[in-house]
Structure 1
Amino acid sequence: MDLHSLDGMILYDSDSDDELETIGIAIVEGQRLAANSSSRSRHNSNRRRKFIWRNSLQGHQRLFLDYFADPPIYPSNVFRKRFQMKRSLFLCIQSAIEVHESNFVQKRNSAGVLGLSSLQKMTAALRMLAYGVAADFMDEFLRIEESTAMNSLFYFVKAVVEIYSDQYLRLPNNNDIARLLAVGKSRGFPGMLGSIDCMH
């Protein structure tokens, strides 16, 4: 058995030079493929982005038919389970956010093609919040790019804080405290306020 050196590697070879030549060709080909892998991944990323962009309207139609059409494919109990709220609350928040934040208004691009709807953007944001899924998880169903999903989450949280903080994201006042204490007392927990164990 002979020892051969090829590109810094020691190869144990049999009597055949053909095998050594085949291994050498395989190594060179592997190096060429490795050198081109970064350009291929960029190319695949661009293809994926074009696919999502072209099919964003399809994502909106699927989402609308599944949950917002009359009647929807999935009933209200499935909507509540998947969105962690009632459909009426979702639509109320959606309309308020569309008025408040221009990022959630559906627009046409320079080619006149409709972009993502507020339903798609808000669904992406809520599913990331409710389930803790990654932003790139949204492209399969919603046809929304990872960066757009992240932007939607950012602007959704910002808009919710700006719109609802005065009413819901504040310290309780005297009326709130009296009401919460009364509810706790009626459920068998007099004097209880702010315990996670007694929320339900």
Structure 2
Amino acid sequence: MPLKRSLVQRELDDSSSDDDDYVIFSAAQIVHTYSNAKRSHGGSVLGHRVLYRDRKGGHERMFQDYLAVNPTYTPEIFRRRYRMSRDLFVRIMNAVEAHDDYFVRKRNAANTLGLSCFQKVTAAFRMITYGVPADATDEYVRIGESTVLESLCRFVAAVVDIFEDEYLRYTNESDTARLLAMGERRGFPGMLGSIDCMHWAWKNCPYEKQGQYKGHVEKPTIILEAVASHNLWIWHAFFGMPGSHNDINVLHRSPLFENLAEGTAP
């Protein structure tokens, strides 16, 4: 399946006209799509019109806006727009650039300077954070639709490869002891974390499945079950149950207590 018509593309095609709706896609779907997509860069296409986007100027303006010594927008505005601190963003961006050569800025055969890592990662973050379609970032980031989709897939795959061992893992014995001590200090002895479910709206839900995915929320939704400690560290996440289920139904189907039942828990 060509990348242009990949799963991510189909999910995002119809979402450009409504800012109030959300588009749902999971990291697992993106990584799966990226791993199985066949990308072929066959050179110039006869009759293809080249759009001059001033990529260099776009990078310079973005850099001055957010990453310069005296940026146009303050760190507080950066956090509001990127949903994270500037230091955390720079850490992730540098790690992804070092992990995948795709994000390193290069010159093409015509000696034209390509997109920077900052531009590609920003486009990926905007899609993940705000659920916007692939071409919605072009005017500011100066990046084409197909490049945004490839950047998104590569970015998610790189983040999983880099941070999986530290941030995408089960609790170990030291984690369990620390969480129990933390809960006891805060007046909740024996507590490992707080569990809850939330509903994510599925804008492009097929009509024949909407009854299954509608519950107490008017729109079709997909449920996310998560366990977090007081510092917002997520220790468990289970995503994908139809919105017609309640929290107890989701808990019965989630793998939260599997390792405890199997005797493999710390």
| TM-based fold match above 0.5 | yes
SS at the partner of 1:166?
helix
Call closer, same or farther: CA 1:178–1:123 in 2, change over 3 Å.
Answer: same
* Counterpart for residue 9 of structure 2: none
Deviation (angstroms), 1:186: 2.9
CA RMSD, Structure 1 to Structure 2 (Å): 1.7
Which amino acid is 1:163 matched to?
Answer: I
* Counterpart for residue 79 of structure 1: 78
User: Runs of 4 or more off by more than 3 Å in structure 1?
Assistant: 196-200
What is the distance in 1 between the residues matched to 2:147 and 2:92? 19
Deviation (angstroms), 1:173: 0.5
What is the distance in 1 between the residues matched to 2:127 and 2:98? 22
**Gap regions ≥5 residues in structure 1:** 1-45
Call closer, same or farther: CA 1:188–1:59 in 2, change over 3 Å.
Answer: farther
Q: Map 1:143-182; keep pairs closer than 5 Å.
A: 143-182=142-181
CA contact (8 A) 2:120 2:151 kept: yes
TM-score by length of 1: 0.71
Greater fraction strand: 2
Q: Map 1:54-133; keep pairs closer than 5 Å.
A: 55-133=54-132
* Counterpart for residue 24 of structure 1: none
Which amino acid is 2:152 matched to?
Answer: L
Per-residue deviation, residues 97-151 of structure 1 (Å, max 9, x unmatched): 1111011000101111110000000111111111111111110110111111111
Which amino acid is 1:193 matched to?
Answer: L
SS at the partner of 1:50?
coil
CA contact (8 A) 2:192 2:229 kept: no
CA contact (8 A) 2:78 2:84 kept: yes
Per-residue deviation, residues 10-68 of structure 1 (Å, max 9, x unmatched): xxxxxxxxxxxxxxxxxxxxxxxxxxxxxxxxxxxx65x5133xx11121111100000
Larger RCO of the pair (alpha carbons < 8 Å, separation 6+): 2
**Greater alpha carbon shift after TM alignment, 177-186 vs 139-148:** 177-186
Call closer, same or farther: CA 1:96–1:196 in 2, change over 3 Å.
Answer: same
Call closer, same or farther: CA 1:185–1:81 in 2, change over 3 Å.
Answer: farther
Which amino acid is 2:75 matched to?
Answer: S
TM-score by length of 2: 0.54
Per-residue deviation, residues 157-186 of structure 1 (Å, max 9, x unmatched): 000111111111111101111222222333
SS at the partner of 1:162?
helix
Kindly tell me the number of residue pairs found equivalent between the two proteins: 152
What is the distance in 2 between the residues matched to 1:196 and 1:131? 25
What is the distance in 1 between the residues matched to 2:135 and 2:93? 22
**Gap regions ≥5 residues in structure 2:** 1-47, 197-227, 231-266
* Counterpart for residue 184 of structure 1: 183
What is the distance in 2 between the residues matched to 1:146 and 1:114? 18
